[in-house]
Amino acid sequence: MASGTALIYDGEMMSHKLLWEDTECDIEVPERLSASYEQLRQYNLVERCVRVPVREATVDEITLVHSQEYLEVIKSTQSMNEDELRNTSMNYDCVFLHPNSYRCAKLAAGGTLQLVDSVMSGKVLNGMALVRPPGHHSQRNLANGFCLFNNVAIAAEYAKKKYNLQRILIVDWDIHHGQGIQYIFEEDPSVLYFSWHLYQHQEFWPKLRESDFDAVGKGDGTGFNINVPWNKVGMENADYIAAFLHVLLPIAFEFNPELILISSGYDSAIGDPEGKMCATPECYAHLTHFLMQLANGKCCVVLEGGYHMRSLSESVCMTVKTLLGDPVPQLHGEMVPCFSAVETIQNVRAAHKPYWKCLAFSGSSIVQAANTRRQGSGEAATPAKTNSEVAIETDIFLQSHMKSFLFPAPPVIAAAVVSENNTLLLPKCMLVHEDTVPAKEAQAHLSFHKELMEDEIDTYLLTKTLSLLNTILQKQVRSGISECLSASAAAVVALKHCIRFGLNRVLHIMFGDVGGIHLNEEGKIISIRISENQPSQTANSKYEISLNWKEDLQTDDNFVYTLLSLILPLAYSFQPELTVITFGPESKITISSIALLTKLMQGLGEGGILALIQDTELKYLKTVAEALLGVNTPAIAPNSAAAEVVIQAVEEQRHNLQTEWKMLRCSVD
Ligand code: X5A
Ligand code: ZN
């Protein structure tokens, strides 16, 4: 399977620039490219990428999306003088032209196609194109919003044609609605377009009625256009993550794309003068990480907006770092979506309920989005700050904020403890854990937990498991796997050990018959159990969640639904420092479900995972190991819908738990 990350960048695209005064257009500056590239270089990310040169898009490629007449208009600007350029620009909304604009627009589109070719040919797994002018506002016959050619739309048509693709997902996380992309694909069911954007009840540019949540596509494309209109500024990480968990991801898994194109505008990030939102750079690591689980990892990120130089370039770095497979940093801020965001999410889900099975049973209907201020923001009380005040504040904030993230990542990813005859089950590159804790010390650790041990035979492996856990807790190793003679005993010992070490939040996910573990250590442990048999004491509480699924319910469809609707929202609310995944006897969950779980849980606690596998369940060993190592394995492909009983059980849990774990909330009623 393909690996590696492509980077497309060419300084020539900086020659397109504003030649006269225009206070609306003066934010789309050439330095957007150089600042992003320079930051990538500073973090040593450039050298880790595969450099791919740009090229000009051809006339045939551009006319996949644009009319010949429009192409001629843009072409003719090459030889215009300033007055003519200015007059031509004035035919459009928020557009400036330069004698080199045509050349740059061809390079931006062609650079995007180079990225698509690199990914589709398997030369790389994924990549990013740093291009300008941006594309998502431009239309068949129209330049608009700094955009000349619609780079991402051209790329989608090109990929459909050249690689015979049937399903392409476009994710537009720019803060403006990419109405150009919507118009181009609104009748096309082979391109699923998702855009979130500041809307403010149609007050925010481009102020279109068709940017609202009820524009779901037309004709054959009905259901394949998803608009998430934010009605408030100040959206935070929790709001963006909630939109992914409750809207984009369930639909995207059901759609099952063959390729993902990201219209990657960073004007949705903190400090941006246009967006006025509050998402911090590491949020883009999470968004990228989510999308990397689809389309077998084939992900092309294409720059659109982003006008605060530091916020833009740090966010670009977080995106590229994640594409490269580095651990995803912990998210900043309280994980509570605001009321207005939940209203929007509820409305989008209600609007798309007829078209997607994953939403068919969601209870809520459309609410009249209230014209209230964002909860918790000081917007109402304090007078609005000027753009330059916000810009400077953000600079200062990011300067210290970015210091909490590790560049480069620690070298050792994962280690394993297995009995000698089972080392062959591990992937070749897997580190077999050597005791770093002297045997005596490990024994001492274990003796603390003596009272819990059910089985003396376990001592040897258990000692090694604890030693492995120590190296994880001390951050020498990101994650680990351990074979166990009794997964329950190992889980109890490991969890107790984490708390004794000083962790405050551990998430425990269990499969199969894992004896009656009822630890919560004063709210420091949340456990989620999926098993066929009811545990001895069923105690559903906000720390103990149990789902009883007969073997025939343990399908990918049911698991994906539960993962996105329950497990991940809980995990993102709780923000565990470590996740323990325990496979007890009779674990019936599918291998592909476990691969996805293991990959997605790496978004939490900086990838800290300990997997405990009962020796009868070693069928999971290779999958978990590969997922921890970041080996790209084929993704899940759900084929039908989750079972109604599963949905009902999950919805009941959501209802009971959402007051405590706020990321579960996807409706305001
Ligand atoms: C690509 C992009 C924004 C245009 C804003 C016009 N365009 N007011 O972010
Ligand atoms: Zn934008």
Residue of 27, 94, 151, 197 to test ligand 1 pocket, by largest number of atoms within 8 Å of CB: 94
**Binding site membership of 455 for ligand 1 (Cβ less than 6 Å):** no
**Binding site membership of 26 for ligand 1 (Cβ less than 6 Å):** no
**Binding site membership of 157 for ligand 1 (Cβ less than 6 Å):** no
Lowest mean pLDDT among 194-198, 277-281, 450-454, 553-557: 450-454
Per-residue pLDDT band at 521 (split at 50, 70, 90) = confident
Length of the chain in residues, anyone?
A: 669
The alpha carbon of 174 and the centre of ligand 2 are apart by a number of angstroms equal to 5
DSSP one-letter code for 247: I
Task: Give residue 430's pLDDT.
Answer: 78
Cα dihedral sign, 556-561-562-568: positive
**Binding site membership of 24 for ligand 1 (Cβ less than 6 Å):** yes
The alpha carbon of 275 and the centre of ligand 1 are apart by a number of angstroms equal to 10
Residue of 26, 146, 197, 272 to test ligand 1 pocket, by largest number of atoms within 8 Å of CB: 146
Contact 471, 455 (CB under 8 A): no
DSSP one-letter code for 593: H
Task: Find tokens 């280690």 and name the residue.
Answer: 415
- Please state the rounded mean pLDDT for residues 45-54: 98
Task: Find tokens 């190793």 and name the residue.
Answer: 477
**CA gap 316, 326 in Å, rounded:** 14
- The tokens for 411 are 């070298």
Residue of 22, 23, 27, 28 to test ligand 1 pocket, by largest number of atoms within 8 Å of CB: 28
**Binding site membership of 584 for ligand 1 (Cβ less than 6 Å):** no
In this structure, the residue with its CA closest to atom 5 of ligand 1 is 145
3-state secondary structure of 151: helix
The residue type of 345 is I
The alpha carbon of 242 and the centre of ligand 1 are apart by a number of angstroms equal to 25
Task: Give residue 377's pLDDT.
Answer: 47
CATH superfamily assigned to domain 5-403: Histone deacetylase domain (3.40.800.20)
**CA gap 649, 643 in Å, rounded:** 10
Task: Give residue 423's pLDDT.
Answer: 83
**Residues 660, 287, 116: CA angle, nearest 5 degrees:** 160
**Binding site membership of 253 for ligand 1 (Cβ less than 6 Å):** no
- The tokens for 29 are 């500056």
Contact 114, 129 (CB under 8 A): yes
Per-residue pLDDT band at 462 (split at 50, 70, 90) = confident
Task: Give residue 630's pLDDT.
Answer: 87
- Please state the rounded mean pLDDT for residues 7-27: 98
**CA gap 288, 319 in Å, rounded:** 6
The alpha carbon of 137 and the centre of ligand 2 are apart by a number of angstroms equal to 9
Lowest mean pLDDT among 285-294, 369-378, 421-430, 578-587: 369-378
Label residues 187-221 b or e (16+ Cβ within 10 Å = b).
ebbbbbbbbbbbbeeeebbbebeebbbebbbeeeb
Per-residue pLDDT band at 154 (split at 50, 70, 90) = very high
Residue 78: Cβ-neighbour burial (10 angstroms; 0-12, 13-18, 19+): middle
Per-residue pLDDT band at 631 (split at 50, 70, 90) = confident
Per-residue pLDDT band at 378 (split at 50, 70, 90) = very low
**Binding site membership of 307 for ligand 1 (Cβ less than 6 Å):** no
In this structure, the residue with its CA closest to atom 1 of ligand 1 is 305
Cα dihedral sign, 160-163-166-167: negative
- Please state the rounded mean pLDDT for residues 305-325: 97
Q: Which atom of ligand 1 is nearest to the CA of 265?
A: 9
Q: Tell me whether domains 5-403 and 412-664 share a fold.
A: yes
The residue type of 424 is L
Task: Give residue 376's pLDDT.
Answer: 47
Lowest mean pLDDT among 75-79, 451-455, 623-627: 451-455
Alpha carbon of 22 to those of 15, 28, 50, 86, 130: distances in Å? 18, 11, 38, 10, 24
**Binding site membership of 93 for ligand 1 (Cβ less than 6 Å):** no
**CA gap 515, 487 in Å, rounded:** 9
Number of the ligand closest to the Cα of 195: 2
H or E segment at 472?
helix 459-473
> pLDDT for 183-197, tens place per residue?
999 999 999 999 999
The alpha carbon of 374 and the centre of ligand 2 are apart by a number of angstroms equal to 21
SS3 for 32-72 is HHHHHHHHHHHCCCHHHCEEECCCCCCHHHHCCCCCHHHHH
Lowest mean pLDDT among 87-101, 134-148, 215-229, 354-368: 354-368
Question: At residue 477, does pLDDT exceed 70?
Answer: yes
Number of the ligand closest to the Cα of 303: 1
Residue 605, by phi and psi: left (phi above 0), alpha (psi -120 to 50) or beta? left
**CA gap 555, 625 in Å, rounded:** 21
Contact 454, 461 (CB under 8 A): no
Q: What is the CATH number of domain 412-664?
A: 3.40.800.20
What are the beta bridge partners of residue 578?
506
Sheet of strand 479-484: strand arrangement: 431-432, 414-417, 479-484, 609-614, 578-583, 506-511, 525-531, 544-548
**Binding site membership of 205 for ligand 1 (Cβ less than 6 Å):** yes
Catalytic residue among 137, 246, 286, 433: 137
- Please state the rounded mean pLDDT for residues 473-477: 90
**Binding site membership of 10 for ligand 1 (Cβ less than 6 Å):** no
The alpha carbon of 146 and the centre of ligand 1 are apart by a number of angstroms equal to 6
**Domain coordinates in residue numbering, the chain:** 5-403, 412-664
- The tokens for 469 are 């856990």
**CA gap 278, 271 in Å, rounded:** 7
Question: At residue 438, does pLDDT exceed 80?
Answer: no
- The tokens for 56 are 């000009």
Task: Give residue 408's pLDDT.
Answer: 62
> pLDDT for 236-263, tens place per residue?
999 999 999 999 999 999 999 999 999 9
Task: Find tokens 């759609």 and name the residue.
Answer: 255
- Please state the rounded mean pLDDT for residues 213-234: 98
Question: At residue 203, does pLDDT exceed 60?
Answer: yes
Number of the ligand closest to the Cα of 92: 1
Contact 293, 286 (CB under 8 A): no
> pLDDT for 224-234, tens place per residue?
999 999 999 99
Contact 431, 412 (CB under 8 A): yes
Per-residue pLDDT band at 496 (split at 50, 70, 90) = very high
The alpha carbon of 228 and the centre of ligand 2 are apart by a number of angstroms equal to 14
H or E segment at 312?
helix 309-323
Mean pLDDT of the chain: 92
> pLDDT for 119-128, tens place per residue?
999 999 999 9
In this structure, the residue with its CA closest to atom 2 of ligand 1 is 305
SS3 for 171-238 is EECCCCCCHHHHHHHCCCCCEEEEEEEECCCCCCCCCCHHHCCCCCCCHHHCCCEEEEEECCCCCCHH
Say what the alpha-carbon torsion angle 422, 423, 424, 426 is, to the nearest 10 degrees: 110
Task: Give residue 451's pLDDT.
Answer: 58
Question: At residue 453, does pLDDT exceed 70?
Answer: no
The residue type of 46 is V
Sheet of strand 168-172: strand arrangement: 50-52, 5-9, 126-130, 299-303, 259-264, 168-172, 191-198, 225-230
Task: Find tokens 């560049």 and name the residue.
Answer: 407
Cis amide prior to 634 (ω within 30 degrees): no
Q: Which atom of ligand 1 is nearest to the CA of 144?
A: 4
What are the beta bridge partners of residue 171?
194, 262
**Binding site membership of 94 for ligand 1 (Cβ less than 6 Å):** yes
The alpha carbon of 187 and the centre of ligand 2 are apart by a number of angstroms equal to 24
Residue 137 appears among annotated catalytic residues? yes
Residue percentage of the chain with pLDDT more than 90: 77
The alpha carbon of 560 and the centre of ligand 1 are apart by a number of angstroms equal to 36
In this structure, the residue with its CA closest to atom 4 of ligand 1 is 145
**CA gap 225, 178 in Å, rounded:** 11
- The tokens for 491 are 């889980």
Task: Give residue 419's pLDDT.
Answer: 82
